Amino acid sequence: MFRRTRVLVALWALAAAHPYPDAAPDATPDESPIVTTPLGQVQGSVIQSRLGKRIYAFRGVRYARAPINELRFHPPQPIEKYEGVYNATVDGPLCPQPGADPTSEDCLLLNVYTTRLPKGDEKSVKRPVVVYLHGGGFYSGGAASYWLGPQYFCDQDVVLVTLNYRLGALGFISTGEKDAPGNNGLKDQVQALKWVQQNVESFGGDPNSVTLLGYSAGAVSVVLHMVSPMSAGLFHKAVAMSGSPTSQWTIPHEQLELAKKQARLVGCGDATPADVIKCLKSKPANEIGQSLPKFQEFGLDPLLIWTPVMEKDFGQPRFLPAHPITLIQNGEFHKVPFLTGVNTDEFGYRAFDIVNNQTLLNLLNDKWEEKAPITFWYDRNTDQSKMVSKALKAYYFNDQPLDKTLLANLAQLYADANAGFGVNRAVKLVSEKNNQSSYYYRFNYQGRYSHFYTPESNNTQPYGVVHNDDLIYLFYISKLFPLFKENTPKEVEMVTKLTSLYANFAKFGNPIPTPNDKLDNVKWEPFTPKTQKYLDLGNKLTVQEKLYEKRYAEWEKLFPLEKYTKHSQG
Ligand SMILES: *[C@@H]1O[C@H](CO)[C@@H](O)[C@H](O)[C@H]1NC(C)=O
Ligand SMILES: *[C@@H]1O[C@H](CO)[C@@H](O)[C@H](O)[C@H]1NC(C)=O
Ligand SMILES: *[C@@H]1O[C@H](CO)[C@@H](O)[C@H](O)[C@H]1NC(C)=O
Ligand SMILES: *[C@@H]1O[C@H](CO)[C@@H](O)[C@H](O)[C@H]1NC(C)=O
């Protein structure tokens, strides 16, 4: 009896949190659903969700003209219509990048997944839309369903949209001149959001409830959309997971030196910015994409190479007119419910590559002031830079030379520098000026599966909870992990928790509107600069406060906010 009551209570709580109708059990057995959008007809396919629902999947849907030939290095151009029935039954290619196959420069494609399509003229199906922006340092990654399988998220009655945007030089080249001011990859994302506004209703999505959810470079993008004049009105809630541009790295006005280097790497001259653009336009896209590893300067670092820029004003629509920290501090951002956080160890796993490689270890010890700014993303060769390097060495290593015994210290520095500090600063700044709730979390669940296993365990045991590990429970990543079913109850429990939290946020702007058994009866209070509450997502969900307060205070001291109030417009 007791058991049954508990189950009923849990079901009731779940039902209360889902005002939207359930997946239509009477879905037609049509294996190739066709949807009529304002741009024309789109044909998809059917795949199964984790719980056996039919997911109508539309993959490789074009949302902008092919950015090829004369359109390379140009902002995205909208499309007018689809010719005939658009075939969206298989994954499209990824944008050019190292190591992926297939890729194509014609990659401005998105995927739409839902378990319920409107029937005939029915307009009543209006589910919240979650638009996912992938990570990969602005030079890798993509929306293909083998990385971002919808099998978990789509059990939650949302419409899921995943998308490609241009990467590396093809997406972010910025010479600081009129013909290449920068940010094309981010403008692609804006174009995709416009496509969602115009077309998602045909897929049963609500264009007035769009949640932008981004990871890593995608999270950096989300925070930039919050301050971008181009993104106004295109989304209604924002989730930035494990990344933020409110960090110590400098957002430049151009990346001309990088553009010149790109030119040289593929055999182009670099005498003038115009030469660079002209010659790069004649090179195969794939050659440009594949050249990325040659930008690495210290082992695999820096992990961030091509970045967004504060565009110079040539009269063009600018994606980013000023520094996001300045804009947020001035209250000049789209006021939407905001959710952000990090994983416990983030990029900490990168420490193994260094302590297990005598060459890198020696270099870091002998040339700390030269190498540390590359790896930990701050200005190089200035007095300020030297001061920061000294301070980090004192704080994280107690001024000891690096060796294996300091692995955990180096891992902590990686975690804070390349994710934690920027995200912490984002939630503080946004919650200070937002008139909507801001939520903060730490993902601290170590399961059997991870994106990094220790070499000591012959790559079988996870090291901590690293970057991307929470994505294991939000998306079916068939490239790396199995589909979690009844025989993996721990993983299933985390899938249920995470997809519920993010779907609730997409529906209500609140990840736990009603505490319930499934979410450990926890009450997740919003973050405020004063209380600094966060949800700790471990074996159990618990509310804690002041995440890594001492560590982040050190960074606040080294990179004071005053700097951003002084220099504002670019
Ligand atoms: C859609 O494209 C895929 C891949 O090229 C192909 O296998 C399939 O037959 C096409 N479907 C239709 C209806 O044309
Ligand atoms: C150590 O790092 C250097 C410099 O990146 C690299 O060339 C070398 O292959 C690495 N050694 C091992 C064993 O991974
Ligand atoms: C929040 O502020 C914006 C303008 O900054 C305003 O349009 C909106 O109505 C406000 N929302 C609430 C809930 O106060
Ligand atoms: C380590 O793993 C490899 C590949 O799975 C296996 O061939 C090897 O025997 C393992 N070594 C040890 C010491 O377990």
| pLDDT tens digits, 83-102 | 999 999 999 999 999 998 89
Q: How many CA atoms lie within 13 A of 244 on its CB side?
A: 32
Q: How close is the Cα of 359 to the center of ligand 2, in Å?
A: 7
- The 10s digit of each residue's pLDDT in 263-286 is 999 999 999 999 999 999 999 999
Q: In residues, how long is the chain?
A: 570
Q: For residue 567, indicate whether it is catalytic.
A: no
Considering all CA atoms of the chain, what is the largest pairwise distance in Å, rounded to the nearest integer?
A: 80
CB 505 within 8 A of CB 511: yes
Distance CA 503, CA 488 (A): 22
Within 6 A (CB) of ligand 3 lie 335, 435
Considering only CA atoms, which residue is closest to atom 1 of ligand 3? 435
Give pLDDT, residue 123.
65
CB 428 within 8 A of CB 534: no
- Index of the ligand 3 atom closest to the CA of residue 331: 5
Q: Does the structure show a pLDDT above 70 at 121?
A: no
Contact status, residue 519 vs residue 500, Cβ threshold 8 Å: yes
Q: What is the mean pLDDT of residues 522-529?
A: 98
Q: What is the mean pLDDT of the chain?
A: 93
Cβ atoms 147, 215 nearer than 8 A: no
Tell me the two tokens of residue 254.
């151009």
Task: Please state, in angstroms and rounded to a whole number, the distance separating the CA atoms of residues 264 and 508.
Answer: 50
CA distances from 366 to 179, 331, 370, 402, 411 (A): 42, 44, 9, 10, 19
Judge contact between 345 and 449, C-beta under 8 A: no
Distance 227 CA to ligand 3 centre (A): 15
For residues 431-450, one letter each, b for 16 or more C-beta atoms within 10 angstroms of the residue's C-beta and e for the rest, the string is beebebbbbbbbbbbbbebb
Name the token pair of 109.
């494609």
CB of 356 closer than 6 angstroms to any ligand 2 atom? no
pLDDT of residue 30: 58
Terminal C-alpha separation, the chain? 67
Q: What is the mean pLDDT of residues 71-78?
A: 98
pLDDT single digits (tens) 214-273: 999 999 999 999 999 999 999 999 999 999 999 999 999 999 999 999 999 999 999 999
- Average pLDDT of the residues in 362-389: 97
Whole-angstrom Cα distance, residue 312 to residue 177?
8
Catalytic residue among 346, 431, 437, 500: 346
In this structure, what token pair is assigned to residue 498? 């995470």
Mutate to test the pocket of ligand 3, among 433, 435, 437 (most ligand atoms within 8 A of CB): 435
What are the tokens at 107?
């990659």
Nearest to 341 by CA among 413, 209, 201, 440: 440
Task: Please state, in angstroms and rounded to a whole number, the distance separating the CA atoms of residues 244 and 412.
Answer: 18
pLDDT at 125: 84
User: Both tokens of residue 129?
Assistant: 């839309």
Protein residue closest via CA to atom 2 of ligand 1: 87
- Domain definitions of the chain by residue range: 37-294+303-341, 348-481+509-565
Active site residue 346: yes
Q: What is the predicted pLDDT for the residue at 15?
A: 30
Q: How big is the CA angle at 74 (ends 71 and 76), to the nearest 5 degrees?
A: 90
| Residue range 17-66, pLDDT digits in tens | 333 333 333 344 557 999 999 999 999 999 999 999 999 999 999 999 99
pLDDT on residue 462: 96
d(CA 335, CA 333): 6
Q: Which CATH architecture has domain 37-294+303-341?
A: 3-Layer(aba) Sandwich (3.40)
